[in-house]
Amino acid sequence: MIRTHDVVIVGGGLVGASLAIALDGLPLDVALVEASPPGELPAVFDQRNLSLAAASVNALDALGVMRELRAPAGPIRRIHVSRAGDFGRVQLDASDYGRDSFGQVVVARDFGEALEARLAQLPRLVRYRPTRFVALDGDDGATRGLRLATADGELQLRARLLVAADGTRSALRDALGIAVRRHDYGQTLFVARVRGERAPDGTAYERFTDSGPTALLPRGDRAWGVVHGVPTAEAEAVAALDEAGWLARIQQVFGWRAGRLLAAGERQAYPIASAVAEGLVAPRAVLLGNAAQTLHPVGAQGFNLGLRDALTLAEGLRAQAADPGDDALLRRYAHRRGEDRERTLAFSDGLARLTGNPLPLLRPLRSLGLLAAARAGWLQAWLVGGAMGFRGDVPELCR
């Protein structure tokens, strides 16, 4: 027998799990297709540091995820931005905007465990795991079919709405025939935990260089989360550095803004490339998160944008749950996501290209930009609004 669900979410990572939680309580039969077996977290829940914007924290609080964190989050109370070789810097303080913080830093693994704890509290959610999407299997107008590979053989399902939340290399997006624009930034991103002589004070540092961006993020465990971009040609040499060499490299980038760096944890490396889907919806199907758009990590916009995707879809289904795959509903979803998506993509890509370009002619222009951002209240307010996740038509839970 082929089982039919109202909503089938393919992908149990950050965005797919968040959508499943957001749909709880609606009169919908929801299924989550996950590649990881019970008791194991998806690979995305590793030691990466997630900067949750204030809008994301609001929503995750409302969804009951934040209270499930077993490790403390690190509040971002100040943001310090500079570029090596350029004049000027930008310093933003949340208290100037009547807020305690711009957002919070959590470790991806801790966040994954909190999501899993919430998913376990949803008795109506059907979870297929470990299960892998294989192919689409027909469209009868009212449902879409899909075939899944399980440990016991092939499984067939039908869905009134099919959600692709299966990441940058989305097999479901490819099966739907939605094209993707890709760009390789020629950079590799290293992430690690670093302990310094001083505990973080709530300041998030972003330092740009010719070779890529580097950030020091205030974690909640009295350590820093390091995000360090290097040209791909140098990645092998950076990976081979011993602990002292690695710390010296990060210290050279930041100087002594955060004090002396004393010890470092394991490093993980990721290639930096963007992948932007040319459409967000297809008949009875929708793309979310990295399946819809994978961004350059500068500015930490990726997951926050994907979460707003999920919350906007959940909001639309809350208003019209009778047919979750209705064409008009999906068109409204794509329209609502348009402004936030385009502005965030332009900001992320533009910032990565501008700050990483070593041409001497750009240095005075960048310096003027930093000086303007430091002095112009309207420009700071625009930057702060974007950093906190308030772009375009913001989902209600984010507010």
Distance of alpha carbon 373 from alpha carbon 271, whole angstroms? 30
User: What radius of gyration, in Å, describes the C-alpha atoms of the chain?
Assistant: 21
pLDDT for position 363: 44
State the SS3 of the chain: CCEEEEEEEECCCHHHHHHHHHCCCCCCCEEEECCCCCCCCCCCCCCCEEEEEHHHHHHHHHCCCHHHCCCCCEEECEEEEEECCCCCEEEEEHHHHCCCCCEEEEEHHHHHHHHHHHHCCCCCCEEECCEEEEEEEEECCCCEEEEEEECCEEEEEEEEEEEECCCCCCHHHHHCCCCEEEEEEEEEEEEEEEEECCCCCCEEEEEEECCEEEEEEECCCCCEEEEEEEEHHHHHHHHCCCHHHHHHHHHHHHCCCCCCEEEECCCEEEEEEEEEECCCEECCEEECHHHCEECCCCCCCHHHHHHHHHHHHHHHHHHCCCCCCCHHHHHHHHHHHHHHHHHHHHHHHHHHHHHHCCCCCHHHHHHHHHHHHHHCHHHHHHHHHHHCCCCCCCCHHHC
CB 380 within 8 A of CB 102: no
Residue type, 169: R
Cα distances (Å, whole numbers) of residue 16 to 23, 88, 93, 173: 11, 40, 33, 14
pLDDT for position 360: 47
Global confidence as pTM: 0.92
Strands of the 103-107 sheet, one edge to the other? 49-53, 103-107, 74-76
pLDDT for position 372: 47
pLDDT for position 353: 66
CATH superfamily of this structure's domain 3-182+273-398: FAD/NAD(P)-binding domain (3.50.50.60)
**CA nearest neighbour of 301 among 390, 223, 235, 230:** 390
Q: Where are the domains of the chain?
A: 3-182+273-398
Q: How many CB atoms lie within 10 A of CB 276?
A: 16
Distance of alpha carbon 128 from alpha carbon 68, whole angstroms? 23
Encode the chain (399 residues) as per-residue pLDDT tens digits.
799 999 999 999 999 999 999 999 999 999 999 999 999 998 888 888 899 999 999 999 999 999 999 999 999 999 988 877 665 577 889 998 899 999 999 999 999 999 999 999 999 999 999 999 999 998 999 999 999 999 999 999 999 999 999 999 999 999 999 999 999 999 999 999 999 999 999 999 988 887 788 899 999 999 999 999 999 999 999 999 999 999 999 999 988 888 999 999 999 999 999 999 999 999 999 999 999 999 988 767 889 999 999 999 999 999 987 899 999 999 999 999 999 999 899 888 877 766 554 544 444 443 444 444 555 555 566 667 877 888 888 999 998
